[in-house]
Amino acid sequence: MKPSWRQVTTIAKYYTRYAAAAAAVLGVVVAGALNSVSLRAVPAVQYNTYECAAGETLDAPEFRVLAYVEAQAVKHADALCEHPTIRRSYSRVHVMWRHRDLNEVRIIFDQQFDLLLTKPEFVERTDIDLIARYVPIAVYGDNTSRFISLQSQPKLTATHLSSRTLGLLDNPNSVSGHQVPRQAIRNAGIDERLLDIRYYETHGDLYAALIAGELDVIATGLALPDHHESEQPHFILPIQEGLKSPRWYLRPPLVDTPLHCHVVSILEEISANSDVIFEQGIEIVRGCRL
């Protein structure tokens, strides 16, 4: 049976909005990269998942969360699974992580999440339907992209960087750990092909490699964790300040419910117990009003 004109129109509008969103985000992702001699191929993204059992009713819905990294995903999922509100209404908490670039736009368009962490441009500058589907409840503070070394003061010169192993984030969508440092290198007239650059999946991996001696310099938007501040001297070269950070969004029907209150308390507790300065700087912009 042929689709009706209304169905065709609806589908056409969906993909028109999707294409517009993809084009908008693509502009953000590759801005500053057009002057590059070559672009490093990005491997296909595999979405990792983590689940924890909540209620005993198997046919109850899932509470779906989109996060950035595994450690973050597991912490939030386990905390949610323990709460009575989740246990009464959901069978399990299902978390996805490791998303980037247009894949993130696609998955936000194609799926509905109850709670997600993403950059505001992916929600607020793409499509009016997405804005209506999510309410921002918490935001991390602006951060700074920086070069960090444990050996000597980093210098943005070919002589300095070509004799050292440099670590970058293996995610072209990361402003602080990929876009800004690569653009700074190009602006300094340094040929990337002369550098020993190694790519890591997370900021935590970059720090671990730096501390283990695998890297001489890393580029990151996260300050060195507090428990290393007094253990190892380190040298910082700020590259760019005032970079916008991601936000936590909640599905509108959950706003001002006991679950909203619990999510806020989880975010605040994880922030208070984190040794990462970036996570410590969370601000609740929409608390629950019960």
pLDDT 10s digits, 12-42: 343 334 334 444 444 444 344 334 333 344 4
First-last CA distance in the chain: 50
Which residues lie below 8 Å from residue 34, measured CB to CB, with a gap of 6+?
Answer: none
d(CA 193, CA 186): 11
Contact 88, 63 (CB under 8 A): no
Average pLDDT over residues 113-134: 76
- Residue range of the domain that includes 58: 48-141+245-284
CATH assignment of the domain containing 133: 3.40.190.180
Indicate whether 21 belongs to any domain.
no
Three-class DSSP category at 66: strand
Question: How far is it, in rounded angstroms, from Cα 237 to Cα 146?
Answer: 5
Shared domain check, 253 and 228: no
Q: How many domains does the chain contain in total? A: 2
What does the pLDDT average to over 249-274?
92
In this structure, are 135 and 147 located in the same domain?
A: no
- Tell me what the mean pLDDT of segment 239-246 comes to: 87
The torsion angles phi and psi of 263, rounded to 5 degrees, stand at: -60, -45
Q: Residue with structure tokens 């706003």?
A: 255
Neighbours of 108 (CB within 10 A): 23
**CATH at 187:** 3.40.190.10
**Nearest C-alpha neighbor of 263 from the set 124, 83, 140, 120:** 83
- C-alpha span between 285 and 168 (Å, rounded): 31
pLDDT at 104: 61
Identify whether 24 is part of a domain.
Answer: no
Phi, psi of 59 (to 5 degrees): -90, 5
pLDDT category at 10 given cuts 50, 70, 90 is: very low
Tell me: do 228 and 267 sit in the same domain.
no
62 falls within a domain: yes
Mark whether 127 and 264 lie in a shared domain: yes
Residue 274 vs residue 129, higher pLDDT: 274
Tell me, yes or no, whether 135 and 255 share the same domain.
Answer: yes
Read off the pLDDT band of 248 (50, 70, 90): very high
Q: Indicate whether 168 pLDDT > 60.
A: yes
- What is the value of pTM for the model shown? 0.68
Residues 169-206 pLDDT 10s = 988 778 899 999 999 999 999 999 999 999 998 888 89
Q: pLDDT above 70 covers what percent of the chain?
A: 73
The Cα 133–Cα 66 span in angstroms is 14
